[in-house]
Copies of this chain bind each other. A is one copy, B any other.
Amino acid sequence: MLTVPEDGFAFCPVRDVLDRVGDKWSLLAILYLGSAEQLRFNELRKNIAGISQRMLTVTLRSLESDGLVARTVYAEVPPRVEYQLTDRGQGLLEAVLHLGQWAKEHAPAILQARQQALAPTKPRSVNDLG
């Protein structure tokens, strides 16, 4: 059984990670960067289906500021900027893929449960016991 810390989970590393990769695009960026040595801005943009230019910038900047992604600017014209996972980013990717293992195994059951919850025979009342 898990024990509640004195701070009542106010300091919670898990929450921190989730806040970092729980947004709409960070995980995808990490996944794609994890599948190549390095990628240019527009390569990422093409890969990550549906992402806007703005959100790709915002996402990369915040990953960079956490030391998860390294940004390298080449003094060329037209400019070339390459992104790659840092070791720390690589570590996060692996930790997250581990979670993905659990997810992969249980996603079907969860999805099924969710579907059944959506189509109840009748609306639930306080009298439904189990």
Contact = CB atoms under 8 A, between A and B. Distances in A.
- Copies of chain A in the complex: 2
Contacts of A110: 16, 20, 66-68, 88
Contacts of A106: 88, 91-92
Contact of A31 (B12, B22, B79, B130): B12
Interface residues of A, number: 65
Contacts of A99: 14, 17, 95-96, 98-99
A8 B113 contact: no
A57 B93 CA distance: 33
Contacts of A75: 127, 129
Interface string A95-106: 111111111101
